[in-house]
Amino acid sequence: MTQRPAGFTLSDNTVSEYETDVKQLVQALSPLIRKSPKQIESLLSYSPRNNDTHTAANAPILLVHGFFGEGQDYYWWNGMKHHHNVIVSDIGPISSQHDRVCELFYQMVGGTVDYGEEHSQKCGHARYGRTFETPAYAEWSSENPVHTVGYSFGGNTARALQQYLHEQRFPGYDTAADWIFSLTAIAAPLNGSSIVHDLAGLSTSESNSFRALAPGKLLERAFRLYDWMDISLLRNNFYNPYFAHFGKTGRTEADTWSEWLSMLVASVWNTPMENSYDHGLYDMAPGKCSRMNDKMVDAFDCTYYFSFTKTLTKESSWNGIHMPTTATLLSPVGAFLGMHNYDAKSLQTMYPRLDVSTEEKVSAINNGLRRNDCVVPTVLQSHPGLCFTHADQSVEASNYLNGLVGGHEDGTAKCACEHKATLQEHGDDLQTGKWYVTDYNNMDHGTLVMTVFDLSIQKEFFKSLYFKLRTLPMASEDKL
Ligand SMILES: [Zn+2]
Ligand SMILES: [Zn+2]
């Protein structure tokens, strides 16, 4: 999908030096313990590190997939390697943030998914969903936390999961925010994505209605049609939309021809999921995301936060529009987002906190929103609360735009972050309760995850990320 980005080099030599040392050690050990170097490597990388008392090194990595995503190898590739315990999410690909969070929690602890009485009644679906016979991490607790790594909408899901743990929203479980040791968001629409309006046809007026024939909406309908077709071979081995809590949907579940027909209509049109707005597409609308973010803690004091923004476009010097720097499958969308203009009213609906009081401000905001990775404007990816800071933009321009975002209730600015070009540039003296933003250029939304074209850069990324996560100090060590 993408070519190797020219600007991306892994500056952390520590990882490769460490690996060279391990390789030499393995070679030397091989004749002594009568195992092949490959067998020893396998033992070293996959055996649980029970004697390792360092929490960060011992904590499993929980990978949370994005919208339309799923939990198979071909989605994460290298993300599933390079750590001794990687758990892959198995949750609704187009489901709402709430439903995905509930599914993820019960996948981890085991048992039947409980979507909550109030939520299920409001949204017209069953209260209970799938049963996870085997917990993915039965020990999960404050003492045995996890590193969560969320790609795209998975970053939002991971944040919401932590908020629910903090609020103890799962009946019978004494949860806390510190069940999550670190949270990493990769190209996540942490403040939504305007693409929900541009391509999925959500109106920017108050009505909140979707255009029935918008390309993004048609794609979603095609997905529902796939579900209605109910081909078990595909469902069991390739892709399961996990709509069952909304009642009968698949063609094979119909008892009569009329039910068959009505289920077909309900699968592609007027679905209960759509009518209740209980779906992921709506939860990625910037306005909805902003309302959800307002009820969430931006960064808990017990957790390390990393985000990786991706950008494929660059501002053209003569007309202010942003064009993709590389031709990829997604770059036509990048060009579209790179030249888009919103009026003040639309901006206000999408970003209620933005100051759009003058033409000059509206024009500057539009300019700031155009940098994108072909799916999510970069501004929306950094951390909760819009962040216009970017290495490619002057400090004055960033400060001016960040001043229009609005701050915390106590008057402090939401954005106090320093962005770096690599993870290593943030250094080793990291603190909890603070977002560390790394901006990658020349990458579209599909680079690093979901790609089959550039696995070497993906490998470098996950190896260096996991190394960083394993060596994070305990939050309490920080304060000593
Ligand atoms: Zn729901
Ligand atoms: Zn920021």
Of the listed ligands, the closest to the CA of 121 is: 1
103 CA distance to ligand 1 middle (Å): 10
Reported as a single tens digit per residue, the pLDDT across 309-354 is 999 999 887 777 899 998 888 889 898 899 888 999 889 888 888 8
Reported as a single tens digit per residue, the pLDDT across 423-445 is 999 999 999 999 999 999 988 88
Of the listed ligands, the closest to the CA of 283 is: 1
Which pLDDT score is estimated for 48? 43
267 CA distance to ligand 1 middle (Å): 17
40-54, 292-306, 399-413: segment of lowest average pLDDT:
40-54
Going from the N-terminus, what domains does the chain have, and what CATH number goes with each? Answer: 1-208+277-480 (3.40.50.1820), 215-276 (no CATH)
What does the H/E/C string look like for the chain? Answer: CCCCCCCCCCCCHHHHHHHHHHHHHHHHHHHHHCCCHHHHHHHHHHCCCCCCCCHHHHCCEEEECCCCCCCCHHHHHHHHCCCCCEEECCCCCCECHHHHHHHHHHHHHCEEEECCHHHHHHHCCCCEEEEECCCCCCCCCCCCCEEEEEECHHHHHHHHHHHHHHHCCCCCCCCCHHHEEEEEEECCCECECCHHHHCCCECCCCCCCECCCCHHHHHHHHHHHHHHHCCHHHHHHCCCCCCHHHCCCCHHHCCCHHHHHHHHHHHHCCCHHHHCCCEHHHHCCHHHHHHHHHCCCCCCCCCEEEEEEEECEEECCCCCCEEECCCCCCHHHHHHHHCCCCCHHHHHHHCCCCCCCCHHHHHHHHHHHCCECCCCEHHHCCCCCCCCCCCCCCHHHHHHHHCCCCECCCCCECCCCCCECCCHHHCCCCCCCCEEEEEEECCCCCCCCCCCCCHHHHHHHHHHHHHHHHCCCCHHHHHC
pLDDT at residue 3 greater than cutoff 60 = no
22 CA distance to ligand 1 middle (Å): 47
CB 100 within 8 Å of CB 91:
yes
Of the listed ligands, the closest to the CA of 92 is: 1
Which pLDDT score is estimated for 220? 73
The average pLDDT across 196-218 equals 72
387 CA distance to ligand 2 middle (Å): 4
Reported as a single tens digit per residue, the pLDDT across 150-178 is 999 999 999 999 999 999 999 999 999 99
Which pLDDT score is estimated for 145? 96
- Give the C-alpha separation, 58 to 145, whole Å: 9
119 CA distance to ligand 1 middle (Å): 6
- Give the C-alpha separation, 178 to 69, whole Å: 27
Of the listed ligands, the closest to the CA of 435 is: 2
Of the listed ligands, the closest to the CA of 298 is: 2
Beta bridge partners of 128: 114
Of the listed ligands, the closest to the CA of 97 is: 1
125 CA distance to ligand 1 middle (Å): 7
The average pLDDT across 216-240 equals 74
251 CA distance to ligand 2 middle (Å): 48
- pLDDT-based confidence at residue 50 (cuts at 50, 70, 90): very low
- Give the C-alpha separation, 28 to 18, whole Å: 16
The average pLDDT across 6-13 equals 45
93 CA distance to ligand 1 middle (Å): 13
278 CA distance to ligand 1 middle (Å): 5
389 CA distance to ligand 2 middle (Å): 6
pLDDT at residue 10 greater than cutoff 70 = no
Reported as a single tens digit per residue, the pLDDT across 394-428 is 888 888 888 888 766 665 665 667 789 999 999 99
